[in-house]
Chain A
Amino acid sequence: MIELFHNPNYNFIGNRKWAYIVSILFTVAGLISIAVHGGLRYDIDFTGGTLIQVRFEQPPTVAQIRAGLAKIGYPDSIIQQFGDAREFMLRVPLTTTTPEEVGRRVQSALTADAALGKFEVRRVEFVGPQVGRDLQLNAIYAVVAGLLGILLYIALRFDLKGGVAAVVAVFHDVLVCLGAISITNREFSLPVLAALLTVIGYSVNDTIVAYDRLRENRGKLGSQKGLSFADQMNVAVNQTLSRTILTALTTFFSACVLLFFGGKTLEDFAFVLFVGVITGTYSTTYVAAAIVVDWTRYVEGRGKRPKKAVAKPGEPRVKSHV
């Protein structure tokens, strides 16, 4: 049989101080990028506005299209090539005119410019200011509600420490993904939001597998004798390592396929998944497990009154010496 690891015994948890530094570096880099760009770039789904996707028969230049739009008073429009050289996405910010009017004006401006040649309007989207605001709020509610749901579920199934650590790990993943969006200059759109929520689910899934293993090991009387809590965690992480890597690989393959074959419309979605799988796998060990370990050590070290640790109370307890 093919095996990725044979009885792996890496000291993941022991190296967690370095991992903290890496995590902080990545999240801070993302936050700086977001700050430098003046916040995330939101898609019209969230800001409101009109989007028109056009395919020309002859590839035009962006300058040609911009000149056409400037003539009708939309110099602030965003013009982006979309997929191949003949396809463009035009975004007009919210104006006082009606969306029908904007769409019609843009079309007639493009028709009027003989140099642009024939074209086909492939998609028109208009989002009013009220709807955009609603979507923004809903997005925030969705993420917060998702995190609360996860926290509650883990707190009930495992314990509060585990729940908090899992949510911190997920939060870390969301920050890294948002940073990656900002650094690569992508837009925050509805599909990106969907991808973020998937990453949340994936990351938590991974964390639960590790917790579950820890709980199972601690349930077996005596099997963990002589091991510090940190070592117990390390054993659990190593035991689930091949599964973690295999699952990460298959999900990663899926994300790659979407990224490379899913077309332009799915690209941003797939990109977030791509980043999310990596950070989600990493954060299980180096954010969630690491926090539980340090939190438990802190509780145990306080006044040498070791009463309760993660998962199961009443277990044979050994003082930590990590």
Chain B
Amino acid sequence: MPRRLWVRIAIVAVVAIASIWYLYPPRRTINLGLDLQGGIHLVLGVEADKAIAAQTERAAEELKGSLERKGIGVSRIAREGDTAIAVQLANPSSWNDALTVVGELGTTYERRDEDQAAGRFRLVMTQREADRVRDLAVRQGVETIRNRVDQFGVAEPTITREGQDRILIQLPGVQDPERAKALIGKTAHLEFKLLDEHVTPEEAQAGRLPETDELLFERRIDRQTKVERRIPYVVQKRTLLTGAELNRAEVNADPNSPGNWQVAIEFNAAGTRIFGDVTEQNVGRRLAIILDGTLYSAPRINERIPGGRAVITGQFTVDEARDLAIVLRAGALPAPVKVLEERTVGPSLGADSIRQGLIAITASAAVVFVFMLLYYRLSGLIADVALGLNLLILFACMAAFGATLTLPGLAGIALTVGMAVDTNILIFERIREELRVGKTPRSAIEAGFTRALRTIIDTHLTVMVTAAILYNFGTGSVKGFAVSLFVGLAASLFTAYFFTRLLFDLIFVRRRKLQAVSI
């Protein structure tokens, strides 16, 4: 046997063995798309402007504190829009002192619309800083959500940033989509604020709400009637402590209300110190525990609490309490998120899809196999073996790249089966043609393969170009289709040309006396 032939056999053997290696065991190696195994696909939009607004709010607070400490009177300091802080000094003569304080704020805000005589100016966040905050908000959002999902316990989740301000989340196999969505989408901004007991909620609702206060609600749901009641509270706007200072959050049974659960939290060192100070200075007052703008409870402070421990109560079921503990541990999202796209597939539908997809592929492959065998006999069998290797390589590539097999992906494979065979048809028809004009079988095979090659490369390249374009512009399931089509065609170049040729050489060309080709 010529040495070149050995090399070619070795190449095919290596490819085949590598394919089997990657494919074993099949259940664990090929990622099934959400449409095949059930689960949730979510695209969230991060409302990054809110993060910018929050940053500006904090800067305004900080500036106010610094000015007050320096004894500079300010009659108004407030956030305007998302990026600006308006400052009105009580006395224009303190202009220069005020500017020194403002300078300490750093270069992230620029001074604009100055009016020294009136003692008035605005601070506007620079575009660079805004971009940075925006970018950070999305990046932190991805991290936080990944953290939450990990604690929730989902096998092989996908959480990635998509474009400027979107987050793509795929949770395969999740049984309870509503709960998972609540867990992911919750901002989980935990705040501790003091209740203002000088103003009754009724007065506040009538419009007599002091500027430093806000009206918040507690939601109470009657377990029997499912009716929701909203109880108003007047709360001071100033945030004393946030969930950022949390160390631990755990679930335990609520001793005061049987059947309900509560979340026990523990602050870190800094949080413990602040919490101790706050409780010491405000004994006798009520401290509101607020999550995402909803008040959960407002216990009265009886004495200084030194250990940095608190409890969030509020008619939680054990699952709700567990999820709340998870989001508190994982931290708050830097900006609220909005669901832009959601696809939930129940596991039963996924199972149906797999079954139907497999039937379709098997049937379409079977039809092609039988057709080739009948029409081209031994050569048809060779093409069928090549097709088998093609499918093997295709699935192995998908396993190796970690590509996801979706329902349109299965369709793409079914189509690859049809088009891979086209390559063999091209070659075989060409060989027949050469035989017809009177060539010997040996030279007809040689000529058939050589002449068909250019056409085969052209046809494969154009369709692969289309698949690549599809991959770049498509989303989700269309991408899956493009991947399997592209990989399938690449494999077809190898199997339908290289491998078929090898089999022809082994079976026909090597014979000492080749009288006829079974084609």
Whether the Cβ atoms of B339 and A204 lie closer than 8 Å is no
Q: Do A205 and B340 have beta carbons less than 8 Å apart?
A: no
> How many chain-B residues does the 8 Å CB contact rule pick out?
74
Since A142-B469, A246-B375, A253-B368 are in contact, a sample of 20 more A-B pairs with Cβ atoms closer than 8 Å, ordered by chain A residue number, is A1-B376, A100-B339, A121-B346, A122-B346, A125-B342, A139-B473, A145-B472, A149-B465, A194-B408, A194-B482, A204-B466, A243-B426, A250-B372, A251-B422, A253-B418, A254-B367, A261-B359, A262-B357, A263-B360, A266-B407
Within the complex, what minimum Cβ distance (angstroms) separates B106 from chain A? 35
Partner of B470, one of A100, A146, A216, A243: A146
| Interface residue tally for chain A (C-beta within 8 Å) | 70
A6: nearest residue on chain B (CB-CB)?
Answer: B436
CB-defined contacts of B519 to chain A, threshold 8 Å: 1
Q: Check A2/B476 contact, CB under 8 A, given A205-B419, A247-B421.
A: no
Tell me the bound Cα distance from A121 to B345 in angstroms.
9
The prevalent SS among residues of B at the interface is helix
Is the C-beta of B502 less than 8 angstroms from some C-beta in chain A? no
Chain B residue numbers with a CB within 8 Å of A239 are 433
**A125 touches which of B338, B344, B376, B467 (Cβ 8 Å):** B344
Q: Are B345 and A257 in contact (CB under 8 A)?
A: no
* A208 adjacent to B414 (CB under 8 Å): no
CB contact under 8 A between A2 and B422, given known A122-B345, A190-B478, A208-B459: no
Q: Which residues does B use to contact A, with CB under 8 Å? A: 35, 43, 45, 177-178, 181, 338-346, 348-349, 352-353, 356-357, 359-360, 363-364, 367-368, 371-372, 374-377, 407-408, 411-412, 414-415, 417-419, 421-422, 425-426, 429, 432-433, 436, 451, 454-455, 458-459, 461-463, 465-467, 469-470, 472-478, 481-482, 485, 519
The reply to whether A130 and B340 contact each other, CB–CB distance below 8 Å, is: yes
Contact B462 A201, beta carbon cutoff 8 Å = yes
Question: Which 5 pairs from chain A and chain B are nearest by CB?
Answer: A142-B473, A263-B356, A254-B418, A201-B463, A251-B418
Most chain A Cβ neighbours within 10 Å, of B178, B364, B477: B364
By the criterion CB–CB under 8 Å, are A254 and B466 in contact? no
How distant is the Cα of A161 from the Cα of B376 in the complex, in angstroms?
Answer: 36
Select B425's contact among A135, A246, A263, beta carbons within 8 Å.
A246
In contact, A138 and B475 (Cβ under 8 angstroms): yes
Contact surface of A with B, Cβ cutoff 8 Å: 1-3, 7, 53, 55, 98-100, 120-128, 130-131, 135, 138-139, 141-142, 145-146, 149-150, 153-154, 157, 190-191, 193-194, 197-198, 200-202, 204-205, 208-209, 212-213, 216, 239-240, 242-243, 246-247, 249-251, 253-255, 257-258, 261-263, 265-266, 269-270, 273
**Are A208 and B458 closer than 8 Å at their CB atoms?**
yes
**Are A257 and B360 interface neighbours, CB within 8 A?**
yes
The residues of A that contact B344 with a CB separation of less than 8 Å are 123-125
Can you report 18 residue pairs joining A to B where beta carbons are below 8 Å apart? A122-B345, A123-B343, A128-B45, A131-B43, A142-B470, A146-B465, A150-B466, A154-B462, A191-B478, A201-B485, A205-B422, A212-B455, A239-B433, A240-B429, A242-B429, A249-B371, A250-B368, A253-B418
Which residues of chain A are within 8 angstroms of B459 by Cβ–Cβ distance?
205, 208-209
Q: How many A-B residue pairs have CB under 8 A?
A: 217
